[in-house]
Amino acid sequence: AQSVTQLDSQVPVFEEAPVELRCNYSSSVSVYLFWYVQYPNQGLQLLLKYLSGSTLVKGINGFEAEFNKSQTSFHLRKPSVHISDTAEYFCAVTPYSSASKIIFGSGTRLSIRP
């Protein structure tokens, strides 16, 4: 079985400051890893994903994440945030199968202060 832990339920950050949203996972098998963003009353949009290869993954909107197998982490980072980045962010995993269900973390609310 897999599980995902997002330690921070809320992260307040000033505009143009860097941010890191933490994600740790647990799994007895190899997994694919994802970060999704959800704006109010909307569905989820894929920010980035790690399937294999380079452990540093770059996504949309200037976000990147680094897969660390030894620490079972997949933290999301952005060097300079904007007001428009205010949203809910979900880390997710799925085992190596094209149609396995995704396991989501509890989410981190990123709020940007001007």
Partner 1 sequence: GAVVSQHPSRVICKSGTSVKIECRSLDFQATTMFWYRQFPKQSLMLMATSNEGSKATYEQGVEKDKFLINHASLTLSTLTVTSAHPEDSSFYICSASGQGGTNYGYTFGSGTRLTVV
Query: Contacting partner 1 (CB under 8 A), which of 28, 54, 70, 98?
Result: 98
Nearer to partner 1, 11 or 15 (CB): 11
Query: Contacting partner 1 (CB under 8 A), which of 11, 24, 49, 72?
Result: 49
For residue 77, what are the CA distances in angstroms to 2, 30, 80? 23, 23, 9
For residue 32, what are the CA distances in angstroms to 4, 7, 8, 9? 12, 20, 22, 23
Question: Which residues contact partner 1 by CB under 8 A?
Answer: 32, 34, 36, 41-46, 49, 51, 90, 94, 98-99, 101-102, 104-107, 109
